[in-house]
A and B are shown apart, each in its own frame.
Chain A
């Protein structure tokens, strides 16, 4: 029977139509009423159905497509379809100068912009050979920003993860706290997300006056606020029923799939690049690497919850260091690399510093030429390739940067933890129940902007 015959005989249901293909009857359900699907499937003897979940589904974490093969409610196969958010950032960077690329990479993993920028800038600085010339104040600000960003990113992971499993309250608390962090970002960089704040050689501008006092207040507020979600979820029977033993992936599985970050630490291995291969002076901070031994969704949730407190500890130490380093430069001293523009707060918001423009326009023709050359051409980076890593909220984020000696990157590749870790969806979900896929994906915490780049 063709679709047309059916629609003549039965009442046509726009939300659950069926059509004949060479592979058998294909049902399309787009939400709403499932009754007609159930009644039609009831006639067939076969239990095996294939369900397309996503790419437009709120609980697939952005535009992630999952193709599920189900026997009843048991998942027998999961295939992951990605690429719906591919923006060609790596290709675009090859047509911009080394500093402009920061504006692109910050948009990859949009929940962790500071980490993208820092990984890229560490790579460029390594290529330039100026890693040790970065002012200490710049490194401390980078650490401060990264840890604030880790909190805002983990808040989304926890909040949306809980929401996807049916808990509304934790999402409100998480986004309330994330908002506090984003407001802090806005005050420091002018933007809440995609700040392009970390630049090759340092950071784009110093903290505004009195910021350390405000950050201390923020830390105090956040520490108190985190208790709300801890009280709601840690040890909560309903929450544990949805998460314990779900999405299991042990250490051997993690190693063979190249998994890093909270998923690896939930399998018991205290592997954290901040401790193992420190960058930006992380060796000078006291903090613990959090692990769990359950290898499941609940363990990953506990790891992220506990990492929030460790981030607060690092922020407190960074703020204490910043007070000591008051007035120090935040950009490398080499004027052939340091971005010459300076920003200032005007009546209409943050913009070019008029004093700075007056100085370069009026005081010296050479400095004007220099400014112009650096902004239009950019600086040259000696030929070679490097691989720079940071511990992002999702695991090892690395930038493989190749230079041919010119003013533009020859090739930039990002080893995105989301991209790599998403491969484990099948291993975590196959053999389990269909409802548990949601929990497993949420515990990987993939960000599709980072996966697809």
Chain B
């Protein structure tokens, strides 16, 4: 998730008089979860392994966290796995795609997250695909789940992830001639300081922040 965090108050550059500066909070594990996963997650993994012989190669990590199953998939294999999840495992609905930007993860700065729903089996699973900032291409799953059309446009608009094979990948929320992708971490929030009765409140992005 992120690197270890040091100190209590997130501040730096001033002398530590509190004694809390020595605290270290370890980042969440980024490893795979070992079997058994619990609940229906083992069935999902078994079924997928049976239906998809390249499971070992395509799925880099299986993570079970807070009662949710996440399959990390190589982006080149995404559409193949998506078809099998839809047709064999009956995940007939894809509830969209959400982007995440991790500027510190070299080679995997952009992440696309697909929550899937099986109404037949009342199950949920999440797919996660990462790609590099320098090559922001991920194959589109619109041919698998047509309802992802607008969701992929939104994620393109907000993060600049280019979904290859999308029928019409244009901006959807921002104006067509907009520069940049607002939800990326290097895109400023904007805003101005507000003065009221002599006191000034800085813009939200300039306020003191605590880690």
Q: What is the distance, in angstroms, from B169's C-beta to the closest C-beta of chain A? A: 15
Q: Which of B66, B94, B174, B175 contacts A127 (CB 8 A)?
A: B66
What residues on A are CB-neighbors of B67 within 8 Å? 126
Name which residue of chain B comes closest to A417, CB basis. Answer: B95
The verdict on A326 contacting chain B, using a C-beta distance below 8 Å, is no
Whether the pair B92, A384 counts as a contact (CB closer than 8 A) is no
What residues on B are CB-neighbors of A86 within 8 Å? 173-174
Whether the pair A404, B124 counts as a contact (CB closer than 8 A) is no
Whether the pair B147, A258 counts as a contact (CB closer than 8 A) is yes
In this complex, how many residues of chain A approach chain B with their Cβ under 8 Å: the count is: 50
Whether the pair A386, B66 counts as a contact (CB closer than 8 A) is yes
Interface of B, secondary structure class, is: loop
Whether the pair B28, A384 counts as a contact (CB closer than 8 A) is yes
Whether the pair A398, B115 counts as a contact (CB closer than 8 A) is yes
What residues on A are CB-neighbors of B124 within 8 Å? 277, 387
The verdict on A44 contacting chain B, using a C-beta distance below 8 Å, is no
What residues on B are CB-neighbors of A277 within 8 Å? 122, 124
- In angstroms, Cα B124 to Cα A126, docked, is 16
Whether the pair B173, A452 counts as a contact (CB closer than 8 A) is yes
Q: Which of B1, B5, B66, B149 contacts A126 (CB 8 A)?
A: B66
What residues on A are CB-neighbors of B204 within 8 Å? 92, 95-96
Whether the pair A404, B98 counts as a contact (CB closer than 8 A) is no
Whether the pair A378, B210 counts as a contact (CB closer than 8 A) is yes
Whether the pair A91, B182 counts as a contact (CB closer than 8 A) is yes
The verdict on B197 contacting chain A, using a C-beta distance below 8 Å, is no
Q: Which of B94, B98, B122, B145 contacts A276 (CB 8 A)?
A: B122
The verdict on B84 contacting chain A, using a C-beta distance below 8 Å, is no
Whether the pair B174, A396 counts as a contact (CB closer than 8 A) is no
Contact with B along A350-384 (1 / 0, CB 8 A): 00000000000000000000000000111000111
Name which residue of chain A comes closest to B149, CB basis. Answer: A423
What residues on B are CB-neighbors of A91 within 8 Å? 182-183, 187, 189
Name which residue of chain B comes closest to A423, CB basis. Answer: B150
**A257 touching B1 in the complex, CB below 8 Å, given contacts A378-B210, A408-B209:** no
Task: State which size class the interface on B falls in.
Answer: 35 or more
Whether the pair A83, B189 counts as a contact (CB closer than 8 A) is no
- In angstroms, Cα B5 to Cα A94, docked, is 18
The verdict on A259 contacting chain B, using a C-beta distance below 8 Å, is yes
Contact with B along A121-158 (1 / 0, CB 8 A): 00000110100000000000000000000000000000
CB contact list, A244-275 vs B, under 8 A: 255-259, 269, 271
CB contact list, B16-31 vs A, under 8 A: 25, 27-28
- In angstroms, Cα B146 to Cα A376, docked, is 44
Q: Which of A83, A126, A377 contacts B173 (CB 8 A)?
A: A83
Whether the pair A420, B146 counts as a contact (CB closer than 8 A) is no
Whether the pair A384, B65 counts as a contact (CB closer than 8 A) is yes
Count the A-B residue pairs with Cβ separation under 8 angstroms: how many? Answer: 126
Name which residue of chain B comes closest to A407, CB basis. Answer: B210
Q: What is the distance, in angstroms, from A82's C-beta to the closest C-beta of chain B? A: 6
What residues on B are CB-neighbors of A192 within 8 Å? none
Q: Which of A94, A257, A386, A422 contacts B146 (CB 8 A)?
A: A257
Whether the pair B173, A90 counts as a contact (CB closer than 8 A) is no
What residues on B are CB-neighbors of A408 within 8 Å? 209
The verdict on A74 contacting chain B, using a C-beta distance below 8 Å, is no
Name which residue of chain A comes closest to B96, CB basis. Answer: A415
Q: Which of A90, A256, A407 contacts B211 (CB 8 A)?
A: A407
The verdict on A55 contacting chain B, using a C-beta distance below 8 Å, is no
What residues on A are CB-neighbors of B27 within 8 Å? 383, 405
What residues on B are CB-neighbors of A271 within 8 Å? 119
Contact with A along B1-18 (1 / 0, CB 8 A): 110010001100000000
**A415 touching B173 in the complex, CB below 8 Å, given contacts A258-B147, A423-B147:** no
The verdict on B113 contacting chain A, using a C-beta distance below 8 Å, is yes
The verdict on B44 contacting chain A, using a C-beta distance below 8 Å, is no
**A82 touching B119 in the complex, CB below 8 Å, given contacts A257-B146, A420-B96:** no
Contact with A along B148-165 (1 / 0, CB 8 A): 111100100010000000
- In angstroms, Cα B145 to Cα A423, docked, is 13
- In angstroms, Cα B210 to Cα A378, docked, is 9
- In angstroms, Cα B65 to Cα A382, docked, is 12
Whether the pair A83, B119 counts as a contact (CB closer than 8 A) is no
Whether the pair B209, A396 counts as a contact (CB closer than 8 A) is no
- In angstroms, Cα B145 to Cα A255, docked, is 9
The verdict on A216 contacting chain B, using a C-beta distance below 8 Å, is no
What residues on A are CB-neighbors of B150 within 8 Å? 419-420, 422-423
Smallest CB-CB A-B distances: 5 pairs: A258-B147, A413-B98, A383-B28, A383-B1, A257-B147
Given A92-B189, A413-B98; 5 other pairs, CB 8 A cutoff? A91-B182, A95-B205, A400-B98, A408-B209, A423-B150
* Residues of B near any A CB (own CB < 8 A): 1-2, 5, 9-10, 25, 27-28, 65-68, 70, 92-96, 98-101, 113, 115, 117, 119, 122, 124, 126, 145-151, 154, 158, 171-175, 182-183, 187, 189, 204-205, 207, 209-211
Q: List 29 A-B contacts (CB under 8 A).
A: A83-B171, A83-B173, A83-B174, A88-B189, A92-B189, A95-B205, A95-B209, A258-B93, A258-B94, A258-B95, A269-B119, A277-B122, A382-B28, A383-B1, A383-B2, A383-B27, A384-B66, A386-B66, A387-B68, A396-B117, A400-B115, A405-B2, A405-B27, A407-B210, A411-B98, A415-B98, A419-B150, A422-B150, A423-B149
